[in-house]
Amino acid sequence: MNYQSTHYLLGAAKLEQLPEDTGVEIAFAGRSNAGKSSAINVITGLSKLARTSNTPGRTQLINLFTVNEHCRLVDLPGYGFAKVPIAMKQKWQETLSRYLEVRECLKGIVLMMDIRHPFKPYDEMMISWAVSSGLPMHILLTKSDKLKRGAASQTLLSVKKKLSDHEDISVQLFSSLKKTGVDQARDVLDAWFESH
């Protein structure tokens, strides 16, 4: 898969604005400060593709990126952290959960969890949602450069152990800064795109 040919397609505030429900979509989810946009940029090799910001919660739309005519990456609104009014947050949550429930072409979820704070309540919610929907999930333990190698490996093992009952969930270390785990993440995306 040539990720460097990926380009921005559109940002949807409502499901009705999404493109036709065909092809294959892989969604990137995570808390607002988990590094979703940075991960998308590093995986595609395009530093300015997804907008990154020092202000968590900048992604307020469902942003779609076209890899090729059948395959799209989806940057979901970051959850739980952004400083926005409660009513707006609830609206995002509704749009987000509806997207996850009704979108037929959604074939996998990449969940970012900050390696220093895994399994926050929203992460748990996304994991149980993926399990109940029968969708494969790949977890990137982001910012792994912030821990020493031994501590990072230890966290990876404990996360894998906690999820060992779920064969459709895989986990890896990832760092956008050091570009750790990029090839491994691409391999997972390739497998998902090619199996449909």
Q: What are phi and psi of 140, to 5 degrees?
A: -100, 120
Are 11 and 62 in contact by the 8 Å Cβ rule? The answer is: yes
Both structure tokens of 144: 């792994």
Tens of pLDDT, residue by residue over 123-134, are 998 999 899 889
- Quote the CA–CA distance of 163 and 35 in Å, as a whole number: 22
pTM, full prediction: 0.92
* Fold held by 3-194: Rossmann fold (3.40.50)
Whole-number pLDDT of residue 84: 64
The SS3 of residue 8 is: strand
Rg (CA), the chain: 16
Please give the average per-residue pLDDT across 87-113, as a whole number: 87
What confidence tens digit (pLDDT) does each residue in 38-75 have?
999 999 999 989 876 655 555 578 899 999 999 999 99
Would you kindly state where each structural domain of the chain is located, as residue ranges? 3-194
